[in-house]
Structure 1
Amino acid sequence: MDVLRLSEDHHEWLKELCTHVENDFVQLVEDVAGSLLDANYKTNINMEASPTLKRGTAALGALLVEASKRDSAPDAVALYLQAIDIPEKHCADIVESYRKRKMELRRTGSSVGFSFPQIVDVNWRLDYAVTSKNMSRTAEPGYKVYFETMSKEHGLDSISFAASVEDLHEIVWKLREAVKSVEKHAGGS
């Protein structure tokens, strides 16, 4: 578990939010947490009403996301909030909301993002064209390549393409170039 850290700006924005919103603070915290979990969550927060409210809710969202990403214990979040001088009542409200929503926030955070499909299998077939409509004799080899891929978004999928011998040589050359580049950067760090 990593130490929870936010920027000094976030600290100031959280403090401003606590002094700006006295009534309905619990509802505000619930609305911020709910909007992090569901893009269609209906909130009563009017961001246009106040720049302080806008900055404060952004800081509160950052706190909840960072705490869940780092798998921070609710008690650690409480200590962190106390260390940056958040009032005790507001601290308790934030920690209670975090305690209730921590696992949901972690699940949502782990499903966010983009990743390229992983190649899980490769098959190929050599087709040798002896004749064609336009020419009596062509004698050209051609390859059909099939990739089986796995992705979080689409599960198992297939990608296929046809290539000439020259095309395959170019693909192999570019892949070797990519491997060399990765090895160079990995070895240099």
Structure 2
Amino acid sequence: MCVISNSFILDDPDLKDIDPTVLKHCHAAAATCILEAGRQKADISAISTCLEDCKLDKERIEQFCTEYQKNKDALEILLGSIGRSPLHITDVSWRLEYQIKNNQLHKTYQPSYLVTLNVENSNSGSHPDVSFSCTMEQLQDLVGKLKDAAKSLERATQM
């Protein structure tokens, strides 16, 4: 599992003027659309209709559908490897990493966290590690969402 840092996205000159929160929501919406299309084995006409309802222009719809079609087999393999039951997190470890340069040799001087989740899948009993990198803001967002989920679960079990 890999998380693309906001700095990579914001390095694109075409996206410099867009609010980072809006970019985050757009990325999440696109990922959800792609995953749902793969999960439901949607054909190109169904995807096109959905994107037309979202007011995308024909050129973008065609580009999206072309890229989706190119990667459809790999997406289905990936979704098939996930299985039907969610992973159970058994432990977490993290470490602080301070990145001085990126792949393009630009100086970044940006701290990030390398997080490893020890998980087990109830179907296979295996214990693969899930690792990703995130910024302080992304880590705080993750912790906040986990707290919210724990509170929701607690409320649901009290009913």
TM-score by length of 1: 0.38
Relative contact order: is structure 1 or structure 2 higher (C-alpha 8 Å, sep ≥ 6)?
2
TM-score by length of 2: 0.44
Larger Rg: 1
